[in-house]
Structure 1
Amino acid sequence: MTSNQLRNTQKPFSFLHSEWLKWLAFPVAGVMQTLSLSPFNLWPLGILSITLIMQGMSGSSAKKSLLFGWLFGIGLFGSGASWVYVSINNFGNAPPPLAGALTALFVAAIAFFPAATFWLFRKLFNGQDRWSVLTFPAIWVLGDWFRSWFLTGFPWLYLGYGHLNTPLSGWASILGVHGITFICCLSGSAIWYFVNKSSLIQRWLGSKPAFPAQTGKPQRKRLPASFVFFAAILWIMGALLGTFNWSYLKDKTPITVAAVQANIPQELKWTRGYRLKTIDIYQTLSEPHWGKDLIIWPETAIPVLHDQAKNIIQSISTQANDEHSTLISGIPYREKDPDTGRMTIHNSIISIGAGEGIYHKQRLVPFGEYVPLESMLRGLIEFFDLPMSSFSAGKPEQSALKEGSRLVTPYICYEIVYPDFVANNANDAEYLLTISNDSWFGRSIGPLQHLEMAQMRALENARYIVRGTNNGISAIITPEGAIQNQSEQFVRTVMTGEIYAMGGRTPFNIFGSTPILLLCALILIVRRVSLARLSAATQRVA
């Protein structure tokens, strides 16, 4: 046969089965998932990335799948969490080579989470039969959940976040972001199954059958598109659920809001000579807005310990009271721990003027607010000695703040990215409030991802969220997860708007992620038991 005849007999797209392309597919799939999220919002890429992953793992061993998962993690976290470099380089004052090395180490370490997920999928659940359409989404979601709390957690870059504006958003109030992630993975896996079961598509791609017949067992004819139909039903249900109102107006009188965004340079924020100037900037920006119901200053806007700022707080509180306004501001708070007797410092929020209450942050950021293995790392490089990196976590089940007579549940920066933490604390709140200092992210995609996660929390709990930041993006988010007002980044401004006190609770607010996690666990248990029985039956026949 001549070379021309050989080329003519080759199937279209047969190059897709080359080994080097399979290795490349996994980091590409990771990047695709980053592109499905804010600020790119190319959500179909997230679903197609799952199809690509499933195809790449077909026929691979568990050991090779472990490496595939790690490569996927490199692509996902290397592109989606690249803002870690900004924090280390710009504010940890680490030179570029060291900042790059530390960022690479962080990405390489956290990539082991998807690596473990891929390995377990192939080791325990076959990973290349029709039931993979269900088992892969289940183990993926449980892997995301594990990553959200292990070693304080890194609940970032969940696939479901890309669907704030798709029909799947209707599931957020019931199953939360993990439920949406499950449906995304199911959709991508269903496409993979359909492509591999359709003889027409297989002939066109030049593929071998992905599901070889089992010897000695009669094969029932199955509809290749069955899982696709099932996924489509979930999308339609999501669209219908999105029309349901889980919350209601408790008061038709609007709450007027002013979020002060002072854009204080991070390198000046904690310098002793700039503290009074910082407070003066906030007071000057707030002056035209006294009389509004709520004025918000962002995370640690008052850069003085609470017990050292009593005169400042009293002066601001008097002015707020005179104007019937509530001021809610971030401030570091020092107190004696009643259990240990030692002095502790908290990253806190206070409500003064017409409001009252104080809240101490519970979920601290590693290295930014506390240093793991402190005795070993302190002093090695400046990054491990960042200002105010010795905070202590607040106690659970703290009281909500009050704005006038209304209950407000506060969250400081990183706390808003924990779905169940937000739901557990939002029970009686009439609206939610989060303050942050996203200066640590610089001009990266980090602040945009952070805002997207706050939008999902509003949708999950059907509550307004007011977000106040130092340098953007300050925003008012509706109970539907839409941005009603927002500020520009890196400007000194005041974002104003109106919100409403809401009542009612969503299923997610009541049950959290428990239903979807139990469903995923049940899927894996049933599948594992069926595989064990099949293995035992095969051994008896042998």
Structure 2
Amino acid sequence: MMRRVVGDGVAPALFGVLATFGFAPWHCYPVTLISVIGLLVLWRRAGPARGAWRGFVFGCALFGTGVSWVYVALHTYSGIAAPLAGLAVAALVGYLAIYPALAGAVAAATRRFAAPIWALLIVPAAWGLSELLRGWVGTGFPWLSLGYSTVAAPLNGVAPLLGSYGLSIVLVAAAGALWLLYAGALIARLIALALVAVLPVLVWWVPSAAHWTQPVGPRLRVAIIQGNIDQADKWQPAHRAETLARYRDMTARSRADLVVWPEVAIPAPAEQVVPYLKQLRRTAAQRNQTVLAGLLWPAANSRGYHNSVLALGQGRGRYDKRHLVPFGEYVPGPAWLTGHLSNMGAPVGRTVAGPVTQPLLHSHGVALGLSICFEDLFARDIARDLPMAGMLINVTNDAWFAGTPALAQHLDIARMRALESGRPLVRAANTGISALIGFDGHVYQHTAADESARLIAPMVPRRGLTPYMAYGDTPLWWATSAVVMLGLLGAWGLRWRAARLRRPAERRRALRARL
């Protein structure tokens, strides 16, 4: 009994908690690798139902510790009652844990395969497919994809080829190789040893992002304005004048070609601050400067607003957020659900999504690929602006998660997008962490959280297209789906063959018993 409790509850939960330490702000990716090895051991000794349960417990522990910051956004800043906020977080964690459970069911169902095939092909493919599904079903929520734990690891050079999901698959395969070294038969150990020996060579041989993209045009001097407006004060009318003055004055002191403000830095709909915008546009034009200002823009033929970035001064145009946050900026489902949630105390926004295809904003001849907050979780959204964009811009308001690991986790997600695309990325956050990120994912400058700050540095635009941005996740979808399908069919075939071989022996035993 105790053995079952440990194997089905304590051990997978422990491994799930340990896996969290591979992500920001800790970056202990070897710990995540060890936790995946432990999960493989648990799956190798389980049937499909128990394998799914162990994957589910692992997922509950991983996401329960890794995305618990959602409670802060719901309760502390949205004012939702603690029980309701806790219930919402539990529902989210339970939903996200379904995907490791699916991987566990496949892994346990195929455990009778030869250990090298199982550990190096089937399980990595099952995990990769589960993450692809998690990033696609509904609106998708790929937070804490295992690949993000490698953003600071030597393995991150694979990102321009395979993206974050591909890195997840490689990480699980590496865990499988290490498990084979310990638990495999002689041939399995030799195969694993060969892979472990060859892996550093492959990592060294894989071309870096510098191979796929090249610098183009003159440097663009970029400034990030981090106003540090507390979320509790942001929308208070009494604080509006102070907020507007802070961003205006910090911009006036910034000698830069491009000045980037955070998401909805202007805490008011555009029609309420028209004189302010005209003055800002006039001043920026006189300084030959482009200011990207986050604000709410009225949607055409709608009562709602776009979450937008407006280019003022030397630049022109507007970007409207395309990929909205479910249950935050909008409610998926019937209209009555929005009113019901609002009556329960959930401040659900009525944000309107922008069109899928939008013209790029430009500054001094450089095309800019814009994303707002949640959008940088999705490489497919970033790819829409490539190869035209020479630089990526992400504006966000992570003040909703102040004091939690979400700030550092979100920064790593932006780093991964820079790596995958081979583009420098400018990240402006209301209360931090703002950063200037190189095309190689390296953070060259960053602010601290909860401080008013500016970052100013030259950034070099780049051109070209990495293989991952050219083909996206399509090859991974096909490859992982094929391996999982063949694995499940093979497992069914092995069971059918074993059943056929048992039947004659059972008949003979029955005949001897009658005689």
Q: Secondary structure at the match of 2:323?
A: coil
Cα deviation, residue 177, structure 1: 0.8
Select 1:77's aligned residue among 63, 77, 80: 63
CA RMSD of aligned residues (A): 2.1
Within-5 A mapping of 1:363-442: 363-373=323-333, 375-376=336-337, 377-382=340-345, 384-386=346-348, 389-442=349-402
Is 2:247 aligned against 1:247? no
What amino acid maps onto 2:336 in structure 1?
S
Whole-angstrom distance in 2 between the partners of 1:489 and 1:536: 59
Aligned: 1:237 with 2:237? no
Corresponding residue for residue 267 of structure 2: 303
Contact 1:183 1:234 (C-alpha < 8 Å) held by counterparts? no
1:412, distance to aligned residue in structure 2 (A): 0.1
C-alpha change, 1:127 and 1:53, in structure 2 (3 Å) is farther
Aligned equivalents of 2:296, 2:42: Cα separation in 1: 49
Q: Is residue 2:151 matched to residue 1:173?
A: no
For 1:357 and 1:234, locate their aligned partners in 2 and report how far apart those are by CA, in whole Å: 47
User: What secondary structure does 1:495 align onto?
Assistant: strand
| Residue 512 of structure 1: aligned partner | 472
TM-score, structure 1 as length reference: 0.87
Residue type of the alignment partner of 2:105: W
Letter in 1 for 2:212: W
Q: 2:49 aligns with which of 46, 63, 82?
A: 63
CA apart distance, 1:528: 3.5
Shift of 1:95: 4.2
Report if the CA contact (8 A) 1:186-1:231 is conserved.
no
Deviation at 1:536, TM superposition (A): 5.2
Q: CA deviation at 1:24?
A: 1.2
Classify 1:122/1:475 alpha carbon distance in 2 versus 1 (closer, same or farther; 3 Å).
same
| 2:110–2:118 CA contact under 8 A, matched in 1 | no
Counterpart of 1:246 in structure 2: which amino acid? W
Q: Distance in 1 between matches of 2:458 and 2:39?
A: 45
Distance 1:343 1:125, change over 3 A: farther
CA 1:95–1:539 in 2, change beyond 3 Å: closer, same or farther? closer
Amino acid at match of 2:15: A
Contact map agreement 1:473 1:486 (CA 8 A) in 2: yes
Distance 2:84 2:354 in 1: 33
Gap change, CA 1:537 and 1:65, over 3 Å in 2: closer
Instruction: Give the whole-Å Cα distance in 1 for the aligned partners of 2:312 and 2:364.
Output: 10
- State whether structure 2 residue 449 is matched by structure 1 residue 449: no
In terms of mean alpha carbon deviation, does 85-94 or 442-451 score higher?
Answer: 85-94
Aligned-pair CA distance for 1:490: 0.3
Q: 1:38 to 1:127 in 2, by over 3 A?
A: farther
* In 1, Cα distance between equivalents of 2:193 and 2:385: 37
Residue 320 (structure 1) aligns with? 284
Aligned residue for 2:305, secondary structure, equals: strand
Matched AA of 1:99: A
Post-superposition offset of 1:269: 1.4
The structure-2 alpha-carbon separation of the partners of 1:347 and 1:479, relative to structure 1 and needing over 3 Å to count, comes to: same
Q: Which consecutive unaligned segments of at least 5 residues does structure 1 have?
A: 1-16, 199-220
Q: Assess, with a 3 A threshold, how the Cα gap between structure 1 residues 72 and 325 changes in structure 2: closer, same or farther.
A: same
**Who is 1:268 aligned against?**
233
* Structure 1 position 520, deviation (Å): 1.6
Alpha-carbon deviations, 1:332-377, whole Å to 9, x = none?
A: 111224xxxx444111111111011211111111222113445233
Q: Which letter maps to 2:97? A: A
Query: Contact 2:226/2:431 (CA < 8 Å) preserved in 1?
Result: yes
State the secondary structure of the residue aligned to 1:516. Answer: helix
- Aligned 1:35-46 pairs, distance under 5 A: 35-46=21-32
Deviations 1:483-520 (A, max 9, x none): 01111110111111110111111111111122233222
Contact 1:362 1:395 in 2 (8 A): yes
Q: What residue number does 1:20 align with? A: 5
**Once the 2 structures are TM-superposed, how far is the Cα of residue 537 of structure 1 from its aligned partner?**
4.6
User: In structure 2, the residue corresponding to 1:498 is in which secondary structure?
Assistant: strand
Alpha-carbon distance in 2 for matches of 1:155, 1:506: 21
Instruction: Supply the AA of the counterpart residue of 2:174.
Output: S
Q: Does 1:93 pair with 2:79?
A: yes
Q: State how far apart, in whole Å, the 2-side matches of 1:381 and 1:361 are.
A: 27
- Tell me whether 262-271 or 467-476 shows the greater mean CA deviation: 262-271
Answer yes or no: is the 8 Å Cα contact 1:39–1:445 preserved in 2: yes
Percent sequence identity is 28
Closer, same or farther in 2 for the Cα pair 1:167/1:517, shift >3 Å?
farther
Q: Any gaps of 5 or more consecutive residues in structure 2?
A: 504-515
Greater displacement, 49-58 / 420-429: 420-429
Asked if structure 2 preserves the Cα contact closer than 8 Å seen for 1:364 and 1:393, the reply is yes
1:196 corresponds to which residue? 183
Judge conservation of contact 1:125–1:528 (CA < 8 Å) in 2. Answer: no
Match of 1:286 in 2: 251
Amino acid at match of 1:439: A
Match of 1:85, as an amino acid?
Answer: Y
Is residue 151 from structure 1 mapped to residue 138 from structure 2 by the alignment? yes
Q: Is structure 2 residue 502 aligned with structure 1 residue 502?
A: no
* 1:429 to partner: Cα distance: 0.5
Amino acid at match of 1:302: I
Per the alignment, residue 300 of structure 2 pairs with: 336
